[in-house]
């Protein structure tokens, strides 16, 4: 019996095509969106505007890459919006107090983010509280802590901060560079390291992973550290472009981040998703936003469009899940 025969047995070409389309729904939408806006306004396809899309996508994108780690385990991290605010704020205080430069500040921000993520991990792994509740609580806690530190006042960074945010290396804007480095690193970790593959295993079958000898607690906790550190970095990079930090910075952004990750193919049930997908998801959202501007569409339609696109992508995911569930239904009799 040929293994290939077994796989395609009883599936018509149209079914195979449907599976393929569902699996790559986001890419298809992305292609359609770019084509549509390109026809509407050819200027949209110019390198500068596409570069702009990626640059603006980097903020949500970096955090979405971290979020993908969490979603892969079947968890969720609602605190990223607050981490985006608090971690760079701590870095700002440190820079001011110790006269640190921007690169050192960046390191402080990422470390602070990692610590905040470790707090999430502690409650989720040690005390076995579900991730949704833990990170909902820290969403308020982290922002509340920042508000208390600043008395809700805006925090101004030194001018070097802005210089860093607007700098570029070899003609590539720094935010894009950071985005690319994070994406590449995440891709390598997820697809090429034992840690990465164990994340996938955990998301597929937590009990099975435990039985197979995977250190489930360590893996599960680490993804929240990764997520928060990524959110901190994302926040720092965007703030560097603005030069100051408002009390409302990052508020509600957790939903953009989750949306981007899900749009990139990450499943909320765990086990499915990739770093590359998060990049695509974040970029797609930004493409739509900027594309609508180029096409001269009423700006207030933008959230509706974003919602619709997320809806379609998630619908595709759920349809795919259902098809998988049906194909896995337990068979008592060999169906020849």
Rounded to a whole number of angstroms, the minimum distance from the CB of residue 7 to another protein is 6
Q: Which is nearer to another protein, 24 or 197 (CB)?
A: 197
CA atoms lying within 13 Å on the CB side of residue 289: 13
Contact between 336 and another protein per CB under 8 A: yes
Q: What is the DSSP letter of 169?
A: E
Q: Which of 81, 105, 175, 203 binds another protein (CB under 8 A)?
A: 203
- DSSP H helices, the chain, are 3-8, 13-23, 25-40, 47-72, 80-98, 102-121, 131-150, 159-166, 174-192, 194-204, 206-211, 216-242, 253-263, 275-294, 302-328
Contact between 331 and another protein per CB under 8 A: yes
Q: Which of 211, 218, 244, 248 binds another protein (CB under 8 A)?
A: 211
Residue 64 phi/psi, 5° resolution?
-65, -30
Of 245, 255, 250, residue with least CA distance to 234 = 250
Sequence-distant (6+) residues with CB within 8 A of 245 are 85, 88, 89, 92, 154, 155, 156, 157, 239
Q: Within a 10 A sphere around the Cβ of 12, how many other Cβ atoms? A: 9
Q: What is the DSSP letter of 123?
A: I
Rounded to a whole number of angstroms, the minimum distance from the CB of residue 122 to another protein is 24
Q: Which of 132, 167, 193, 255 binds another protein (CB under 8 A)?
A: 193
The footprint of another protein on residues 94-113 (CB under 8 A) is none
Q: Which is nearer to another protein, 5 or 252 (CB)?
A: 5
Distance CA 259, CA 253 (A): 10
Kindly tell me the burial class for residue 60, based on how many C-beta atoms sit within 10 Å of its own C-beta (0-12, 13-18, 19 or more). Answer: buried
Please count the residues of the chain: 336
Q: Which is nearer to another protein, 57 or 206 (CB)?
A: 206
Degrees, nearest 5: CA angle 6-72-255: 130
Rounded to a whole number of angstroms, the minimum distance from the CB of residue 271 to another protein is 5
Q: Which of 30, 44, 164, 200 binds another protein (CB under 8 A)?
A: 200
Site string for another protein, 257-286 (x = CB under 8 A): --------------xx--------------
How many residues belong to the site for another protein (CB under 8 A)? 34
Contact between 130 and another protein per CB under 8 A: no
Contact between 13 and another protein per CB under 8 A: no
Q: What is the DSSP letter of 299?
A: G
Rounded to a whole number of angstroms, the minimum distance from the CB of residue 130 to another protein is 15
Rounded to a whole number of angstroms, the minimum distance from the CB of residue 241 to another protein is 33
The footprint of another protein on residues 151-190 (CB under 8 A) is 188
As given in the structure block, the two tokens for residue 187 are 């891709």
Q: What is the DSSP letter of 60?
A: H
Contact between 325 and another protein per CB under 8 A: no
Please identify, among the stretches 2-10, 83-91, 157-165, 274-282, the one whose residues bind another protein according to the rule CB under 8 A: 2-10
Q: Which is nearer to another protein, 83 or 223 (CB)?
A: 223
Report which secondary-structure segment, H or E, holds 245.
strand 244-245
Rounded to a whole number of angstroms, the minimum distance from the CB of residue 20 to another protein is 13
Q: Which residues contribute to the site for another protein (CB under 8 A)? A: 1-3, 6-7, 9, 188, 192-194, 197-198, 200-201, 203-205, 208-209, 211-214, 271-272, 324, 329-336
């Amino acid at each position: 019996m040929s293994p290939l025969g077994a796989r395609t047995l009883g599936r018509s070409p149209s079914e195979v095509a449907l599976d393929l389309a569902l699996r790559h729904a986001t890419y298809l939408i992305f292609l359609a969106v770019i084509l549509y806006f390109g026809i509407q306004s050819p200027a949209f396809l110019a390198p500068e505007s596409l570069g702009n899309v990626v640059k603006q996508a980097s903020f949500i994108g970096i955090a979405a890459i971290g979020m993908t780690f969490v979603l892969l385990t079947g968890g969720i991290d609602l605190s990223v919006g607050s981490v985006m605010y608090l971690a760079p704020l701590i870095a700002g205080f440190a820079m001011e107090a110790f006269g640190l430069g921007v690169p050192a500040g960046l390191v402080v921000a990422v470390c602070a983010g990692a610590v905040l993520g470790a707090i999430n991990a502690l409650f989720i792994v040690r005390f076995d509280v579900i991730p949704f509740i833990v990170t909902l609580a820290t969403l308020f806690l982290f922002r509340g802590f920042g508000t208390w530190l600043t008395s809700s006042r805006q925090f101004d960074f030194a001018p070097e901060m802005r210089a860093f945010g607007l700098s570029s290396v070899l003609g590539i804007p720094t935010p894009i560079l950071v985005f690319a480095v994070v994406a590449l690193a995440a891709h390598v970790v997820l697809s090429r390291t034992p840690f990465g593959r164990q994340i996938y295993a955990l998301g597929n079958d937590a009990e099975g992973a435990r039985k197979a000898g995977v250190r489930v607690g360590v893996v599960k906790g680490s993804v929240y550290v990764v997520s928060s550190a990524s959110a901190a970095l994302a926040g720092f990079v965007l703030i560097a472009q603005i030069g100051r930090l408002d009390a409302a910075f990052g508020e509600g952004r957790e939903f953009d981040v989750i949306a981007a990750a899900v749009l990139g193919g990450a499943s909320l049930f765990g086990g499915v998703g990739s770093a590359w997908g998060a990049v695509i998801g974040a970029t797609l959202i930004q493409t739509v936003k900027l594309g609508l501007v180029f096409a001269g569409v009423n700006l207030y339609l933008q959230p509706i469009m974003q919602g619709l696109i997320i809806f379609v992508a998630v619908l595709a995911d759920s349809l795919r899940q259902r098809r998988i569930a049906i194909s896995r239904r337990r068979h008592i009799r060999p169906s020849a």
